[in-house]
Each structure stands twice: as C-alpha cells, then as structure tokens.
A = this chain, B = another copy of it.
Amino acid sequence: MEFSYSPRCQDYLDRLRAFMDAYIYPNESTYAEQLAGFGQNRWQVIPIIEELKEKAKAADLWNLFLPESDKGAGLSNLDYAPLAEEMGRVPWSSEVFNCAAPDTGNMEVLARYGSPEHQKEWMEPLLAGKIRSAFLMTEPDVASSDATNIQCRIERDGDEYVINGRKWWSSGAGDPRCKIYILMGKTDPEAERHVQQSMILVPAETPGITVKRHLPVFGYDDAPHGHMEVELKDVRVPASNILLGEGRGFEIAQGRLGPGRIHHCMRTIGAAERALELMIKRGMSRVAFGKRVADQSVWHHRIARARIDIESARLLTLKAAWMMDTVGNKVAQKEIAMIKVAAPRVALQVIDDAIQIFGGAGVSADTPLASAYAGIRTLRLADGPDEVHERAIARLEMKRLSNEA
C-alpha cells in the first residue's frame, strides 16, 4: 500500500492549483457580478467562463476527465480524482477545464457507445467546449431510483423514434449552449426489467420539446446551467440516434455511473476542504469572550472532526477510484455506493459548521457556503437517495458473509 499521488497526477495537480490561484479564485466575484448583471434574463453564457476556457486549453488543463482515451488527458480515475477535488473548491470552475457534469458523463457515453457519426456530430464539439449537453433521466411522479419505473416512451415509427414523456432535474438544459440531450426511455415496457430501457440522442431544438420551468435548489436557480423540467411531446429523431441499440439503456447507465460518482464525490470533498479552510480562518480572525474563536474547544472539536472526516472520505473515494481502474466498475460497486453516501454526509456537516462560525455571512452570498450546502444536499438524492445505496451496501455485505459461510 502506498499513499502518495503518482508523479503524473502531482504534476497536473500543481499546474491546476497554479491556474486556480491565478484565474479562478480572483474571478469568483467577476462570475457573480456578470450573472447579477444579466438582471432577470439569467439564462445566458457568462463571459468570464468562455474567457477562462481559452486559458485552460492553453495551459493544457482541458478534458482531464476521460480515462483510457486519446481524446483527453488519458488519466486514470485515481489520477483524475485529486484534480476533481481541486475543481470542487469553486463550483463553476469545472466548466473552465471542460470537466463539468453532465457533459463529462455524456462525452464518456459517446466515446464508448456512440457511432462514429454520433461522435463527429456531438462528441467533437463537446470535447472542444463549443456546445453543452444534458442527461434526461429522472422523472417527476415516480421513484426514479428504480429504473424500471421510467415512464418516458421511445417508440419506433419507420425510420424514426417518437418520444413522449416528462423529465425533470435535467441539469444544464437551461444553458443556451445546450444542444444535445441523452435521454433514457422505454422502448419495450413488456421486456425483462433490465432491457426495457434505451438511450437515445435528442437534439435540444427538435420540435415537440418544451423546457417548462427551472427547479430551484434551496432558492438557487443555478443559472445559466439550471435544473429543468422538460416536456417531450411526439418528438421525432432519426432511428440512428439510438445508442448501442434498443434495450441497452440500463447497460449504458451502469457504465456511465461509476466515474461520475468519483467526480461528484471528489468535488464534494473539495468543497468540504474549502469550507474547513474558511472555518479555520474565520475562527482565527474573530474574538469572542476574550479569546479567538478558533481557540475555543468546541471549535477544536469541530475542526478536528472535519479534518478526520474529510481525510477519511478522501481516502475512501481514492480507493474506489483505484478499484475502478484495477478491477472495474462492477466489482467496485460497493465501494462506489459507499462514497456516494459518505462524501455528502461529511461535506454537509463541515459546511454547516462553517456556516455557524460565519453567522449571517454564512447563510448569505457573502461566502460560498450556503450555496455549496444546497448543491451538495441534492447529492443525497440525485442518482438514487442514500437509502437505495445503503440497501445495496447492506445486501452486498450479507452476500459476502453468506458466501463465506
């Protein structure tokens, strides 16, 4: 066992940190101001993002996420993880490096399962950062944690598929650059559970698509990205838009999930790490009852707990990434479920403590804390609520002990 980062990872990390110091942190207020400057018309491209994307390309910090591919940096999940953590310190920074969800997952799907035509039409501009994408999976009114509950229909009609359904929490669909959706729906509701679903490419401007509204998260609209509710009514796309073929949707979803969870978890850990830093610095700068706040033992307790929990969650996530790299998503499914539960739990506690030490500034926009809390709170629900993953972990544990016996 060996706990140091690989030289390759460390090199990227050093360069990424230098970039963050030079361009990201100094522009946090710029980002906020440009967005605020839009007034009510918030669903626009924020100029600073496009500016910084060019700098990131120039710094060779572009498309870092793609493992086993000549399209990106070719980093393993384990080597990419610390970079995702770093980006997690400023939520919008991932996009600067073209490493933002859901594009990352969508590009992976296209790289692995797309036809050369799909790749040329959609993956290339995505890799180039020219367009963005959305993933239409979750539906209102059903427990989406169980893929068999999906109601959206994809029906063959000659050379086309006709799509009817309603999706929500389609993140990124609010962005004017969002040109392509990967949609999960049912091609055969009568088939065996795991082959009812298919994935299909749906250009965002296809007739019949209506973005009904955005869903706020604790009052945040997350513009211009957004979490949208999308209605699809007799939406027609060429039959060739299907990915892999009918009934392969579940299989693709499984393949898509693993890396995304590593990314989310590491970004979450980055957010927690930043909250801890803010907490400590605030505690060192304020005096209460004649003593620096950070010197009071209740804050010793919280700082220590935060340090322990963050480091634990980081190691757990790195181990899951390592397993994905060495034994694959399937064998690593327990570890992936574990970090899905652990990372948000840890981060929410740390951020909540940080909010507490900041007082009013903590809940407002004067710190990044409340916004981070809200965003990470959704991770206990997205891609299956905690309860589903805890069930999966428990069942794998039972299976392990049954096999041993």
Contact = CB atoms under 8 A, between A and B. Distances in A.
Given A1-B2, A304-B390, A312-B312, A297 B294 contact: no
Given A2-B1, A338-B311, A365 B301 contact: no
Contacts of A402: 284
A341 to B, nearest CB: 6
A195 interface: no
Interface in A286-340: 286-289, 294, 296-301, 303-305, 307-308, 311-313, 315-316, 318-319, 322-323, 334, 337-338
A380 interface: yes
A5 B2 CA distance: 9
Interface stretch (A125-133, A174-182, A237-245, A355-363): A355-363
Interface stretch (A113-121, A197-205, A393-401): A393-401
A28 interface: no
A378 interface: yes
Nearest to A220: B219
Interface string A340-368: 01100000000000011001111111100
Contact of A370 (B218, B301, B305): B218
Interface of A is mostly: helix
Given A288-B145, A387-B301, A363 B356 contact: no
A356 B345 CA distance: 13
User: What is the total number of copies of this protein in its complex?
Assistant: 4
B297 A391 contact: yes
What interface size band does chain A fall in? 35 or more
A78 interface: yes
Contact of A401 (B277, B360, B395): B277
A280 interface: yes
Given A40-B39, A219-B219, A308-B342, A390 B315 contact: no
A103 interface: no
A221 interface: yes
10 closest pairs, A vs B, by CB?
A219-B219, A219-B220, A304-B390, A312-B312, A315-B315, A297-B298, A304-B393, A300-B394, A303-B394, A40-B40
13 contacts: A1-B2, A3-B319, A143-B286, A145-B288, A216-B219, A216-B364, A219-B219, A280-B397, A301-B387, A311-B316, A311-B338, A312-B315, A363-B377
Given A140-B361, A304-B390, A312-B342, 20 more contacts: A2-B322, A215-B364, A216-B364, A216-B365, A217-B219, A284-B401, A294-B394, A296-B387, A297-B391, A299-B394, A300-B394, A301-B387, A303-B393, A304-B338, A312-B315, A315-B315, A315-B319, A355-B377, A362-B381, A363-B381
